[in-house]
Structure 1
Amino acid sequence: MTTNTLDIPGYKAGTWVLDPAHSEVGFSVRHMMISKVRGSFGVKSATLTAPENPLEATLTAQVDATSLDTKDAGRDEHLRSADFFDVATYPTIDFTSTGVRVENGDMFVDGDLTIRDVTKPVTFEVDFGGFGSDPWGNYKAGATAKAVINREDFGLTWNAALETGGVLVGKDVTIELDLQGAHQG
């Protein structure tokens, strides 16, 4: 069942701006078919425009692809190269929402994700954390979100076959967001 309106206690209409010091974009992908490699990106910007009905909110976000960090300098350099993200040509990853919906009590944000100048629809399942005021009087909101994409859909097709069968890098990438934003009025 899809809901057309949403009542969230503490919700404030207006503009919300991401707090990069309290936000992270993480990812994980299968490595050698037996384990996962995890990494993160820095968020350049994100703005949520929130009308009275939260289901009509819009979000734009930009991730700094050059900030990629998997805790291995050699792997990071390879991921930044033209084999993967080609950050010299495509320094950002962009997201623009196309809708917010609630189904069976779960919240989803649909949108267009752009990596390497390839735009595809993606859906994030959102776990809303709530609202609160910090000691300096800033009104904040927090949420986590998760989506799974096929990296090859975005032109990230490099791989290597393994002698034991399978490939070095899995196709499915799990994106996990930890976000905190401040109400700007």
Structure 2
Amino acid sequence: MVRFFWIGLFALTLVFAQTAQAELQHYELDGTRSKVEFFYKTSETPSKGVFPVKDSDIRIEWRAIGRSSVDVTIDTGRARVFDPIASLALKSGDFLDTSRYPEARFLSRSVKAKGKGAVVTGDLTLKGVTRPVTLDVAFQRLVGAPEDNSEIVLRIRGSVSRADFGITAFPDVLEDQISLDFMVFLRRTP
């Protein structure tokens, strides 16, 4: 089992202040390990699905976290849930309409320190509709990872209303709130 050390934003600043540069650090996302999961309920039965990450541009400034930014593109055409019939329905016009909207994108507008992590507020564009979304971020490091912040893990959580994006099919079976849970493995690039 992979164990994580939870590291608060302030601890990161203090521990790595000597090695961190006072500039934005660019990070590359490891697409094979990173995942964007979403959770929903159908008739009170919890279920989950996965969105593959298509592209990302993540920049972090450890000494001034507010200058950090996140830009992530999701491949909605490859979204899946753990029921083959539901996966087909997810891609249909009633839900994501992936033939017309094969991507979703989150672009941050602000990053603020909060407790042992940060809050990222930005715009999510899904099915051609853009709405503000706020996400809670926790900074982590894998056991044995370098201590210079060159490899980090972000645990990102939030929720969205599917109705806000025009996804209203089956309201008597499918709840409106969709929970989001991202596990993002990052490596600093030169």
Report the TM-score range of the alignment, normalised by the length of the smaller protein.
Answer: 0.7 to 0.9
In structure 2, the residue corresponding to 1:84 is in which secondary structure? Answer: coil
| Structure 1 position 7 matched with structure 2 position 24 | no
Moved more, 45-54 or 95-104: 45-54
Letter in 2 for 1:25: V
- SS of the aligned residue for 2:50 comes to strand
Structure 1 residue runs of 4 or more that deviate by more than 3 Å after TM superposition: 8-13, 103-106
More strand by share: 1
> Is residue 117–residue 139 contact of structure 2 (8 Å, CA) maintained in 1?
no
Q: Of the candidates 108, 114, 134, which is equivalent to residue 123 of structure 1?
A: 134
Unaligned 5+ segments in structure 2 are: 1-8
Q: Which residues of 2 match residues 73-152 of structure 1 at below 5 A?
A: 73-130=84-141, 132-133=145-146, 139-152=150-163
What is the TM-score when the length of structure 1 is the normalising length? 0.84
* Cα distance per residue 1:68-125 (max 9 Å; x no partner): 1112111100110000000000001100001111234452111100101101010111
1:96 match: secondary structure: strand
- Could you list the per-position Cα deviations for residues 16-43 of structure 1 after superposition, in whole angstroms to 9, with x for gaps in the alignment? 11110110000011111x2211110110
State the identity %.
Answer: 24
User: Which secondary structure state, in structure 1, belongs to the residue aligned with residue 78 of structure 2?
Assistant: strand
Alignment CA distance shift 1:142-1:72 (3 Å): same
TM-score by length of 2: 0.82
Residues 104, 182 of structure 1: alpha-carbon distance in 2 compared, 3 angstrom cutoff = closer
Is the 8 Å Cα contact of residues 109 and 122 (structure 2) preserved in structure 1? yes
1:17-36 to structure 2, matched below 5 A, reads 17-32=28-43, 34-36=44-46
**Separation in 1, partners of 2:78, 2:166:** 19
Instruction: Give the superposed CA RMSD.
Output: 2.2
**What is the aligned partner in structure 2 of residue 43 from structure 1?**
53
The yes-or-no answer on 1:177 pairing with 2:177 is no
For residue 163 of structure 2, give the secondary structure of its aligned residue in structure 1.
helix
- Give the 3-state SS of the residue equivalent to 2:90 in structure 1: helix
Equivalent pairs counted in the alignment come to 171
Cα distance change of structure 1 residues 49 and 104 upon mapping to structure 2, 3 Å threshold: closer
Cα distance change, pair 181–103 in 1 and its aligned pair in 2 (3 A): closer
